[in-house]
Structure 1
Amino acid sequence: MREICVIGGNRYFGKRLIERLIAAGDRVTVVNRGSSAPPAGTVHLIADRDDEKSLEAALGSRTFDVVVDQVCYTPRQAEIARRVFAGRTRRYVMTSTVEVYEYEDSADPVGEDAVDPRTVAVDTALPWDDPEFLESHYGEGKRQAEAVFAAAPDFPHVAVRVAHVLGGADDFTGRLEHYADRIRTGEAIAVPPVNRPATYIHVEEIADFLFWTAGEDFTGPVNAASHGTLTTRELCAEIGAHLPDGRTVLEAVEVGEVSPFSFRRSYGMDNSRATRLGFPFGDARSWLPRAVAETLGKDH
């Protein structure tokens, strides 16, 4: 039986990861602020991860085989986690994001070496506690968090750079509903004049990936994305299939906010490292109908 700690993980693919760990016979400890109960069958520790003393007190003398950190958004949080979990775990898995590549505008899928966290400058003095600043610097916060872990060679860690996640009736983001609402009424959907494709991953697949990663021994950044890219038109076509009386109107806008999942730059990730390591990704176009049906089925 492995001892696994999951920080956060109460919803969406984190919840599915915990279900997989429990089904495999792992003993799972969930750390959160106590605002919601973790899945049944887990040990629940209440702590504020931003408060080092609170986190240390909650953990006590516990040690783990693997820690999966679902909610590390800033270098400050990473520094606290690195100090607290040093000597407590053999492996630390941080859930990162495709957004770390926000400055890598390439027509080709980007590999992990495009952003080497060992070369990323860390600035903990930035206003990371300001929600508006954090939201507008999401990719930068994740980049710097990765850099904090990468600066400690004696702290074995993985940064899972997750593609855009689709699927599940419990998708809380509202991004597919954004399209469905507009297709149903024929309202214009704002997109860039040149709308780039992106890589995606199904909610069940990223849960599978994190579960698999917990059992492996590789380290460093790794891209997690299904094979192939999807465009806004492909998403709209699949959503439109569920709304036969609707109408899809894409309106190109030069400036201003555009719809979610429409991009002025490419967000394609190269998943070959994970594939070589042995993870069998699915094809995004194959699971897209399922993802849309799951997310919209509850309302449409």
Structure 2
Amino acid sequence: MHTVDKPQVHKQEVCVIGGSRYFGKLLVERLRAAGHRVTVINRGSARPPAGVEHLVVDRDDEAALTAALGDRTFDVVVDQVCYTPVQAAIAVRAFAGRTRRYVMTSTIEVYDPATAAPGALAAGAPGTPVAEDVVDPAGWPVRTDLPWHDAAYREAHYAEGKRQAEAVFTREGRFDFACVRSAHVLGGGAREFTGRLAHYVERVARGEEIAVHAGARPTVFIHYRELAEVLLWAATATAFTGPVNACSDGLLDVRDLVAVIAGQTGRRPGYRTVAPGAVASPFSVDRHYAMANDRARELGFAFSRTADWLPGAVAEAL
């Protein structure tokens, strides 16, 4: 799917927070296969593979997390499930002196101007993918007093929670910190828990209309296997710090995506244009925040092309 310039690396002690499903589960498997010693921290929803140490604890409970860690130390921590600055602050304290490197899985949504305060994000040139410096965690304001403990609030402020979590790690972490900002993740058939690709497959197969914005903007995607490889690379094969964008090559808009599905189903798609500001189907975006992957490429990771793997991902969903 891609090529990576891989230096020789020693086997490492790796802690994965989360890692119980989708690309996180695959990351644990890839780390283990590469010979690294892996510890998984989660609330016990799923057991990790054989040979992986399992700590069952709620990462939001600082005292319990610290007690569960005991005297363990790690070369790197990969945090798959940090959504708020409060969670980041707990992790900063719990892992101080326990790891030399910390990698957080972040998201393309940090670039969405609709989820930030007016004027907080500089508008990119239409059609030009944005670079990492558009959102600088070193200067992003943090509000730990907001109701981050409330699940509904956290879900409604997902992008802002990720931005502020990045900021806490960047400014307060006593370890080298990097964050991988993932594009929209596809692939894996039933493993793809968001159901967004399945939404399109089902509607096209049934001949139902797809709600889209007028002039929907293009965005970027990544296959779940490739994202696992990016995280493996970020954790064990390179020493960069700060944010890095992770997306396959090639911009696609919602109609491009549906065209691939239509080609495999033999059904002609129908569209319904929604009013400005109204909710449309997943991946139909009316504002520009597609990412550029130049920094990761310069650091040594070569991405695949979305056009090469997307037909297979659609076939899995079908």
TM over 0.5: yes
Query: Which of residues 274, 284, 297 in structure 2 aligns to 1:275?
Result: 297
Whether contact under 8 Å (1:185, 1:247) holds in the other structure is no
Runs of 4+ displaced beyond 3 Å: none
**Residues 1:91 and 2:101 are matched in the alignment:** yes
Aligned to 1:4: 14
Select 1:24's aligned residue among 6, 30, 34: 34
Q: 2:139 aligns with which of 119, 137, 144?
A: 119
Structure 1 letter corresponding to 2:214? P
Partner Cα separation in structure 1 for residue 271 and residue 106 of structure 2: 31
* Structure 1 position 228, deviation (Å): 1.3
Per the TM alignment, residue 153 of structure 1 is displaced from its structure 2 partner at its CA by: 6.2
Task: Give the TM-score of the pair, scaled to structure 2.
Answer: 0.90
Match of 1:292? 314
* 2:53 is equivalent to residue 33 of structure 1: no
The residue identity in structure 2 corresponding to 1:71 is V
The separation in 2 between residues aligned to 1:40 and 1:72, in whole angstroms, is 25
Within the alignment, does 1:143 sit opposite 2:163 as a pair? yes
Unmatched 5+ residue regions in structure 1?
Answer: none
Alpha-carbon displacement from aligned partner over 1:200-246 (angstroms, at most 9, x marks no partner): 111111111000111211101111111111111111111112322x3
Q: Distance in 2 between matches of 1:99 and 1:47?
A: 28
Aligned partner of 1:163 in structure 2 is 183
Matched, 1:262 2:284: yes
Residue number in structure 1 paired with 2:111: 101
Q: Which residue of 2 aligns with 1:253?
A: 274
Give yes or no for the alignment of 1:206 onto 2:191.
no
- SS state at 1:242 partner: helix
Q: Residue 218 of structure 1 corresponds to which residue in structure 2?
A: 240
Deviations 1:240-290 (A, max 9, x none): 12322x331111101421100110112311111110000011111111112
Q: Is 1-10 or 104-113 further displaced after alignment?
A: 104-113
Q: Per chain length, whose mean CA-contact separation is higher, i.e. which structure has more relative contact order (CA < 8 Å, sep 6+)? A: 2
**How many residues of Structure 1 are paired with residues of Structure 2 in the alignment?**
295
Q: Secondary structure at the match of 2:14?
A: strand
3-state SS of the aligned residue for 2:175?
coil
Alpha-carbon contact 2:186-2:222 (below 8 Å) kept? yes
Q: Judging changes above 3 Å, is the alpha-carbon distance between structure 1 residues 192 and 33 closer, same or farther for their aligned structure 2 residues?
A: same
Which is worse superposed, 49-58 or 152-161?
152-161
Q: In structure 2, the residue corresponding to 1:44 is in which secondary structure?
A: strand
Native 8 Å contact 2:96 2:173 kept in 1: no
1:174 is matched with: 195
Q: Where does structure 2 lack aligned partners over 5 or more consecutive residues?
A: 1-10, 114-120
Given the alignment, which residue of 218, 241, 246 partners 1:197? 218
Query: What do you get for the CA RMSD once the two structures are aligned?
Result: 1.2
Map 1:180-191; keep pairs closer than 5 Å: 180-191=201-212
Residue in 1 that maps onto 2:117 = none
Pairwise CA distance, 1:152: 2.6
- What is the CA deviation profile of residues 124-148 of structure 1, one whole-angstrom value per residue up to 9, with x for unaligned ones? 1111111221111110000000000
Determine helix, strand or coil for the equivalent of 1:198: coil
Q: Deviations over 1:35-78 (max 9, x none)?
A: 22123321000111001001011110000001000000000000
**Residue type of the partner of 2:140?**
V
Contact residue 122 and residue 147 of structure 1 kept, 8 A: yes
Name 1:235's counterpart in structure 2. Answer: 257
CA distance in 2, matches of 1:219, 1:188: 44
Partners of 1:98 and 1:41 in 2: CA distance: 33
